[in-house]
Chain A
């Protein structure tokens, strides 16, 4: 089957850097994605890694190591508006192509 593990909560200070880790298990790995969800809102797509290495998009970067079944989301220059839940999602092939989401990491940014 497919499963993901990520920390339930992370707290950081405004202006700091925070890393949210994600480990996964899947058959037929096709990529790891990250989504942001504010309270009461819809998930929004942040990034996607299919190959090993770092992908950078503004203040956010995402890393993947396929050999370790591991990835992380790096948020730099944290702002209060970054307080949200962050989900990693793995696309694999178990009974059809499926994207399975982790339980989410709640990020609290303090002033």
Chain B
């Protein structure tokens, strides 16, 4: 157990639907990062929050949005889902907004399947 909790572990939904993925960072970590990993692909950076504020944005689609709440948990909202959105979505956390020398701690991911 890495200390980063992601729910749900698996999600199957239809095209056009909206889903919410949830992440609780490791205790003491203020930064949350969201990454998307498609089959046999690398990790695509989506967005980062630090202590409730958006800090950096990657190639996140307009149909996707995220936020970090006062208790530091984060939610990633995916709407108007398409087949191509099927992927593993990882949340990671770090104590500061750089996550450099100690790296990121990743959760076990949410596997989203759009049918």
User: Min CB distance, B57 to chain A, in Å?
Assistant: 7
User: Min CB distance, A62 to chain B, in Å?
Assistant: 12
**CB contact list, B57-115 vs A, under 8 A:** 57-58, 90, 92, 97-109
B98 touches A101 (CB 8 A): no
Q: CB-CB < 8 A to A103: which residues of B?
A: 41-42
Q: List the interface of chain A (C-beta within 8 A of B).
A: 30-31, 33, 35, 41-46, 48, 50, 87, 89, 91, 95-104
- Where chain A touches its partner, the secondary structure class is strand
Nearest residue (CB) in A for B90 is A42
A30 touches B100 (CB 8 A): yes
In the complex, 16 of the A-B residue pairs with CB atoms within 8 angstroms, ordered by the A residue number, are A33-B103, A35-B103, A42-B90, A43-B43, A44-B2, A44-B106, A50-B100, A91-B99, A95-B56, A96-B55, A97-B55, A97-B97, A100-B45, A100-B58, A101-B45, A102-B42
Q: B101 contacts which of A50, A98, A100, A102 (Cβ < 8 Å)?
A: A50
User: Min CB distance, A100 to chain B, in Å?
Assistant: 6
Q: CB-CB < 8 A to A96: which residues of B?
A: 48, 55-57
B109 touches A45 (CB 8 A): no
In addition to A91-B99, A96-B56, 10 A-B residue pairs with Cβ atoms within 8 Å of each other are A31-B101, A42-B106, A48-B103, A95-B56, A97-B98, A98-B45, A99-B99, A101-B42, A102-B42, A104-B41
What's the Cα separation between A32 and B98 when bound, in Å? 12
A98 touches B48 (CB 8 A): yes
User: Min CB distance, A108 to chain B, in Å?
Assistant: 14
B106 touches A43 (CB 8 A): yes
Nearest residue (CB) in A for B54 is A96
User: Min CB distance, A92 to chain B, in Å?
Assistant: 10
Q: CB-CB < 8 A to B35: which residues of A?
A: 101
